[in-house]
């Protein structure tokens, strides 16, 4: 398994930015992996959102569908789904000082202009009130066109204050 992940792009955020875009997806690999670790926000209770990019620009059309199961340490699990949204959504995070968002996602068919792009993911979140949550699921971008990357932002329009975001190709 050593050498199976090939780093394509990486951003390490150390001061507030409104979004992070990772690009470099092409037909070199069939599957790509997105890893986000230690992401913190400047806005409390903001959901992390992701969009595909076309030529490096985030696609905000209403073509994102998803189905998820959320696991909560403080409550029961929930099943969620969304169709025709403008992004895929993940757990909310609190403001820094103890809050963090982590995600592993696999990206399929992104370089294929004849197929829909889709993702499977799992994420874990802890916020400042010690609410621990996990979310697992998948999504599809219902447009048959090539996608070259991922754009990460917050639902409230706040800033991403810190975190490491990495895009890898999975060696064939």
**Tens-digit pLDDT profile for residues 89-129:** 887 776 656 678 899 999 999 999 999 999 999 998 876 66
Instruction: Map out the domains of the chain as residue ranges.
Output: 9-170
Indicate the burial class of 79 (C-beta count within 10 angstroms; 0-12, 13-18, 19 or more). Answer: exposed
Cα–Cα distance, 49 to 40 (Å, whole number): 13
* pLDDT band at residue 169 under the 50/70/90 scheme: very high
Q: What is the pTM of this model?
A: 0.92
pLDDT at residue 147 in the model = 96
Cα–Cα distance, 113 to 92 (Å, whole number): 32
* pLDDT band at residue 1 under the 50/70/90 scheme: low
Specify the CATH number for 9-170; select among 2.60.120, 2.40.128, 3.90.550, 1.10.3210: 2.60.120
- pLDDT over 90 (residue 13): yes
Q: Are strands 132-141 and 64-72 parallel, antiparallel or unpaired?
A: antiparallel
Indicate the burial class of 18 (C-beta count within 10 angstroms; 0-12, 13-18, 19 or more). Answer: exposed
Rg (CA), the chain: 15
- pLDDT over 90 (residue 70): no
């Amino acid at each position: 398994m050593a050498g199976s992940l090939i780093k394509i792009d990486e951003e390490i955020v150390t001061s507030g930015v409104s979004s992070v875009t990772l690009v470099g997806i092409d037909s070199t690999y069939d599957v790509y992996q997105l890893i986000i670790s230690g992401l913190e926000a400047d806005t409390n209770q903001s959901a992390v959102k992701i969009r595909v990019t076309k030529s490096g620009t985030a696609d905000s059309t209403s073509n994102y569908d998803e189905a998820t199961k959320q696991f909560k340490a403080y409550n029961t699990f929930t099943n969620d789904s969304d169709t025709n949204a403008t992004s895929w959504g993940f757990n909310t995070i609190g403001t820094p000082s103890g809050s963090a968002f982590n995600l592993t996602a696999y990206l399929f068919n992104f370089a294929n202009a004849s197929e829909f792009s889709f993702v499977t993911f799992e994420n874990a979140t802890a916020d400042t009130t010690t609410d621990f949550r996990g979310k697992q699921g998948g999504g599809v971008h219902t447009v048959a066109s090539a996608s070259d990357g991922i754009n990460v932002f917050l639902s409230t329009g706040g800033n991403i204050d810190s975190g490491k975001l990495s895009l890898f190709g999975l060696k064939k």
